[in-house]
Chains A and B, each alone.
Chain A
Amino acid sequence: MKTKRLLALALVSVMLFAFMAACGGGDTSPEDSNPPGENTPSSNDTSAPPPSADSGDTTDIPRNEALYFNGFQWGPSVGWNAFSSNMNNPLAFEQTADGARLPMMETPYMYNFLDNKMYPLLADGGVDGYSFNADRTELTYTLKSAAKWNDGSAVTAHDAAFTWEASVNYLPDGYANWTPYIADVVAADDSTVVIKAVVENGKPVNANMMIQYLGERYILNKAWLEALIDRNGGDKDSIANDKGQDCVYSGAYGPFFMDDNKVILTRNDSYWGQDASMWGKLPAPKYIGNVLYESNAAGDSVFVVGEVDVSQNYIENSYKMWTEQGLPVSTYLADAPYHIAANMPTAYFNMNSPKVGLDDPIVRKAIAISVDYDMILANAMTNQSPSFKDVPRSLMNPSAAEQAMYNKADVAALQWVGNDIDGANAMLDAAGYAIGDSGYREKDGEKLSYKVSCPTGWSDWEAAMYVVAAAGEKIGIEMETYFTDWSVYQVTMTSASQTEFDIFMFSTQGNAPAQPYSRIRALLSSEFNNLDNNWTGNFGQYSNSEVDDILKLIPQETDAAKLREYYTKLVEIYLTEVPSFSLMYRPEKFHTVNESVWTGFTSSDDGRNVPPNNSISGYGIADLYNLTLVG
């Protein structure tokens, strides 16, 4: 009996010790941390700064004060340094073209992908309130006088200018994504910021990228950046690895807690955005949090029971949650396709492949027109995006702004909706690809046989590539599905001379102010050929000098009619040459919400024009000011 008691005691002790040790790692004593804005010699000793002074019981957050997200990340976050790309903290920071994450750090404007417009945040004035000079080589905007950092100091043009300067000088990549387009960002006075373009032949290289910069890149606090650089001796590595515990922010939320399992931000109740010139009030949730789950399925399971409010995950047949299970779940659109599609996951033909036929546009087009896209839509997307019957294929995504940028009638004869087996067979027969002894079509005694690839475990992509392979078999082309682990896939796909994949899949760029140009450049430009570690595009190494010439003209063209002409020509070439073909339209953000706790999320019929952008990105953050508690 005594032994059993001792054993039970030992077990409980092990559990207690283990759990307390585990929890001790990420937690911090609020009293131990430095106040925001106070620079210290080292900022790496803790992982969470203090909660706000009035947070009451800061160890147990009431559910009705917190808004929870999932699907933002797969690995634990590292810190709060918004200047570094090493932090893996997407609840707080993410600077993307379709609208930066804005709860903590802010951009001058908030991008709205519904109308392709820029809504002012730190900037003063109205929608698209920036101005260009006559030759579009300088973009000017002014900052709101009300805009403040959380330490009470004003957000000034000097902050914007120094953010640029520090990024160019101290980011590991030298800000190389922006320096081809932007020469400098300067402060004309305390509140006026001028963005100067890189100029070629008296014109900006790409003025739209200057606009994109306004909604993608944060303005960071100059004093904090200077302290960050100083305490790390100007060393790029140290700066990037500094956890930024003392970060100064202008957004409505600041750091509250971080460990390996979750990140929580807390509202700054003295947020400047309460000013009438901005939101006029505070956002509703006092806390926002992102909890890590090991898989989509795990995240979905807590979303279903209302532990998560906003899910960015793709959820198969999500509409059944409200149509069949009666759950208070909804998407931006009440009916199919439920989401705003922006991306166009694409199958690339590998022009480097030694396999016979891939260099022939007839073979490529025959494969493309034979694919059953409706089946892909049903199997891979559970009908959560528009079909190619709804939005005929081109180089444009389904947004109204992009669809208006080419002459549909001029290319209507070239567009296909798929599953055209007879048409594909006729094309191949006419081109001399006859069925040979192998049972497959052959050219000069060599059968048409290709490896069809995507990352393994990406079930929706795998489903799409199975449909592509099935189409090949129907038209006499041998197709072998070849799915590899993502860690291997990405290396092969971005290699300049890979011959492992013949037809392989990857995403395109989605919504952004600089679209559709950036996406088309990434799909077709030969400037990316023969480059290793090429993550930008044209993964199939297609080359066409006419396309390259048009791509050089577009960024400097301002005449709308001329632009339509260029874009129409590119669509015509794309649908004729078929260097790649889109398999589906796909939402950039799935934005599915569970209104068990909070209600008032954006929807297409509420008349607010707020994009379904996870309620905290771009102009989507307007959602936070519209939420109310259920009941």
Chain B
Amino acid sequence: MKGYRKYFTRKILWFLITLVSAVILNFILPRLMPGDPIASIVSKIGGAGSNNPAATQAMYEHYQNAFGLDKPVIQQFFIYVKNLLRGDFGLSFSRYPIPVSEVIGNALPWTIGLQFPAIIVGWFLGNILGALAAYIRKGFDKVLMPAMLFLGGVPAFGMAIILLVIFGIGLQWFPFQGGYPPGMIPHMSWKFFAGIISHYHLPFWSIVLISVGGQSLGMRSMSIYELNADYVKYSRYMGIKDRKIVGYVFRNAMLPQITGLALSIGTMISGAMVAEIVFSYPGLGTTLLQGIRENDYPLISASTFIITLMVLTTVFILDIIYGLIDPRIKASQYE
């Protein structure tokens, strides 16, 4: 138990050090980007084409003051940390005067609603197909392998555009822009939910198909490796039933896939950017992209902070679970 305490303490310590570093980087990195967030705002709200440069200058100074960007950077940092500790991410520059927490709060559920099921479905389908390809081989593998290579190799935007052109514009089976029908006002009803589902198909499948391709190839390779492992041969010589052996094989092959799944879930809120952009699907990906385009420091910092926190937490939990279920991992930390 002493070993575990040491192991957990060390993991927690690293978690905290990484978190603090991430907070510092989240503040600094957006500010190192070239560009000026206030210039973006001034140009948008009428600076461009203004008759009087004095008006533009007055507007510039007004927003500089409102965002606190006229203060020294170190002072801005401490204000940022102080607000962060209170759960206050500040006001968005690009959607001023909306608080960042509201911007993210509106976008996050869309992203989770799209990404989480897509990751799970893609993971299950991919692993099942990969395992079957490795086990059945022959014609099934010969057909599946190139198909999965294709799916796994198509870039996300390419898959999204293929689906949009074929099933959206061409066959017109599904609506292909937005998160719900443009004529509907969001409300609790099955009709509205059906509208959401119809808009959900294309972005969902664009993520799932790519995920299936990647997952199945990984699972196929791992399964083939395991099927040829010495313990499988030995088991067969021992006369153990094939079904029993396959169960062990796929359980072992699944281990890296589970790690991948956990990391996918950890990073999911930044993962659907392409699908969100192509299908104008509301979500954090497009929100973050817009923030980056417009040098929206608070929005970028908050988004990256949430992503960092999710990844760190996932990795931390994985570390803890691995330490518990596989003592070799814990032991290897002290070699």
Tell whether A and B belong to one assembly.
yes
- Cβ 8 A contact of A301, one of B46, B176, B193: B176
A490→B39 contact, CB < 8 A? yes
Cβ–Cβ contact A24 & B185, under 8 A: no
Rounded to whole Å, the gap between the CB of B59 and the closest CB of chain A is: 5
Assuming the A-B contacts A18-B112, A86-B45, A301-B164, are A180 and B185 also in contact, with contact meaning beta carbons closer than 8 angstroms in the complex? no
In the complex where A61-B185, A259-B186 touch, is A172 in contact with B58 (Cβ < 8 A)?
A: yes
Within B101-153, the residues touching A (CB, 8 Å) are 102, 105-110, 112-114, 116-117, 120-121
**With a CB–CB cut-off of 8 A, which chain A residues contact B55?**
173-177
Give per-residue flags for B37-67: 1 if the beta carbon is below 8 A from chain A beta carbons, else 0.
Answer: 1011011111111111111111110110010
Is B52 in contact with A180, judged by CB distance below 8 angstroms?
yes
Contacts of B105 in A (CB 8 A): 25
A302 and B177 alpha carbons, distance in the complex (Å): 7
Taken together as a complex, chains A and B put the C-alpha atoms of A535 and B40 apart, in Å, by 11
Verify if A400 is at the interface (C-beta below 8 Å from B): no
Q: How far is the CA of A176 from the CA of B58 in the complex (A)?
A: 8
Whether A78 contacts B98 in the complex (CB less than 8 A), given A19-B193, A177-B50, A487-B35, comes out as: yes
Whole-angstrom CA separation of A490 from B43 in the bound complex = 8
A174 near B58 with CB under 8 A, answer yes
Interface range, B side: 35 or more
Give the residues from 258 to 316 in chain A that come closer than 8 angstroms, CB to CB, to chain B.
259-262, 264, 289, 291-295, 298, 301-302, 304-305, 307
Give residues of chain B (168-187) contacting chain A, Cβ–Cβ below 8 Å: 168-169, 172, 176-187
> Contact between A528 and B120 (Cβ–Cβ < 8 Å)?
no
Tell me the bound Cα distance from A17 to B188 in angstroms.
11
Q: Which residues of B contact A169 (CB under 8 A)?
A: none
- Within 8 Å of chain B (Cβ to Cβ): is A413? no
Question: What's the Cα separation between A95 and B46 when bound, in Å?
Answer: 9
Does B179 lie within 8 Å of A22, measured CB to CB?
yes
Does A533 reach chain B (CB closer than 8 Å)? Answer: yes
A163 at the interface (CB under 8 A from B): no
B106 touches A26 (CB 8 A): yes
Q: Is the interface on chain A under 10, 10 to 19, 20 to 34, or 35 or more residues?
A: 35 or more
A484 to B60 CA separation, bound complex (whole angstroms): 22
Residue of B nearest to A179 (CB): B52
> Of B63, B188, B286, which contacts A20 at CB under 8 A?
B188
* CA distance in complex: A177, B45 (Å): 13
Give the shortest distance, in Å, between A253 (CB) and chain B (any CB): 16
* A536 on the B face (CB < 8 A): yes
User: At the interface, yes or no: A151 with Cβ under 8 Å from chain B?
Assistant: no
* B304, CB-defined interface residue at 8 Å: no
Q: Give the distance in Å from the alpha carbon of A78 to the alpha carbon of B33 in the complex.
A: 26
| CB <8 Å contact, A86 and B96 | yes
Picked from A180, A261, A294, A301, the residue with its CB within 8 Å of the CB of B277 is A294
| Residue in B closest to A510 when the chains form the complex, CB atoms | B49
Distance (whole angstroms) from the CB of A239 to the closest CB of chain B? 11
Q: Are B40 and A487 in contact (CB under 8 A)?
A: yes
With A260-B282, A535-B42 in contact, do A11 and B52 touch (Cβ < 8 Å)?
no
Q: Are A19 and B293 in contact (CB under 8 A)?
A: no
A14 at the interface (CB under 8 A from B): yes
Chain A interface residues (CB < 8 Å from chain B): 7, 11, 14-27, 58-63, 66, 68, 74-76, 78, 85-86, 88, 95-97, 172-177, 180, 209, 236-237, 240-241, 257, 259-262, 264, 289, 291-295, 298, 301-302, 304-305, 307, 484-488, 490-491, 494, 507, 509, 518, 528, 531-536
If A60-B184, A173-B62, A180-B52 are given as contacts, then 11 extra A-B residue pairs at C-beta distance below 8 Å, sorted by A number, are A16-B193, A22-B113, A25-B102, A26-B186, A75-B95, A177-B51, A260-B107, A262-B178, A294-B278, A535-B43, A536-B51
User: Can you list 16 A-B pairs, Cβ within 8 angstroms, ordered by A?
Assistant: A14-B112, A14-B117, A19-B196, A22-B106, A59-B187, A61-B185, A75-B94, A85-B46, A86-B45, A97-B49, A174-B58, A262-B182, A264-B185, A289-B183, A487-B39, A509-B49
The 6 closest A-B pairs by CB, nearest first: A18-B113, A487-B35, A176-B55, A23-B186, A22-B109, A241-B97
